[in-house]
Amino acid sequence: MDNWEKVFTTEKLYQAEIVKETLEDRGINAVILDKRDSSYNNFGYREVYVEKSVAEQATQIIKQDVQFE
């Protein structure tokens, strides 16, 4: 994953999925990396990664278009 950059981190899977889908709807490939401890499914977090060439654009989209209530 040398060519990928982390643009979002959360403990909640649904938030990572929303960010990923929002980015993909705008033509940006995104992947979710699950960093949960396999022994304890409740502990850990998820990270959303995009290609480095679009990381700044992805960050702006997340800031402007993604809201959690």
CATH number for the domain spanning 11: value is 3.30.70.1530
Q: What is the extent of the structural domain holding 24? A: 4-65
User: For the segment 49-69, what is each residue's pLDDT rounded down to a tens digit?
Assistant: 999 999 999 999 999 999 887
* Integer Cα distance of 10 and 35 in angstroms: 10
Q: Taking 70 as the threshold, does the pLDDT of residue 34 lie above it? A: yes
3-class SS of residue 39: coil
CA 17/CA 46 separation, integer angstroms: 10
Task: Give the whole-number percent of the chain exceeding pLDDT 90.
Answer: 71
Count of domains in the chain?
1
**Cβ–Cβ under 8 Å, residues 47 and 35:** yes
User: Mean pLDDT across the stretch 12-41?
Assistant: 89
At residue 53, the pLDDT reads: 97
